Structure 1
């Protein structure tokens, strides 16, 4: 499939489907019903359907979005934005300064971030993390990180661990600073 100049949208339902784009021809998006790897010069990938899938980016700054199953999202090179869904997803940013986005209901769907490092960010939606607000100074009152086991928790009341919800696990040895949280 070739889209040409402009922002193109492709629906892929077969692993053999190929999307061909040249550089600087717009921002292109693939909507995939199968495991898919973005071809060169295609920016975005959204998974569709009711089964878990593998979504892999390319060397560009990709936006890769999961469906509601437990998917594996791999950004590869570039400053990627990986958006988990309702399933327990495995997120690997790869090279670059990546952002791991949490914007779906916290229902036991604990995502695993395999390669969180300096320069990466965790984006938290105020639609889900209702106690957070843009510009707040002490996110750590509401988001707690256990460096020993990599678990990341949301504590809605900000002053007890009693009702904390485990929503992600970071790779062993990951360090996270206040500046690495982005409130959206």
Structure 2
């Protein structure tokens, strides 16, 4: 089973590349945002707990998100693998994910990180903001804050997987197909 974390800052091209990876490797897309919405819509116990917290403006705790991922893993035991999107965002979440996967006799195969310089990210997101309609892609100050947040809080997750020799940095600047070829090489090396 291929379990891949697609990693990188906002604007690095994760959405574009994840679609290509999912199509080629037949992976189940695990987006924490999508999981939260579907559990809430299904009215599951975890979904109701998450909705109560979200309605109060609170963040959903890691154990609730891990529980939702556990449900998804259990529901797709015959899957070719999973691509993790938006999770883990902290080392604590990475440790919890590793523990969960081990309970299913699985592990993270590889973390592919799209590496893009901050000034390029800013330009990409401002450009995307012209067509996406997303207000967070139209405000230079907000974009800088998101990139800063990634650099300070999320980047340590890369170090965590680097210590496990599962971290593969890939230049996220260039032609989409060229970047995808590099991702394929990283997957083939697993």
TM-score under structure 1 normalisation? 0.28
Higher helix share: 2
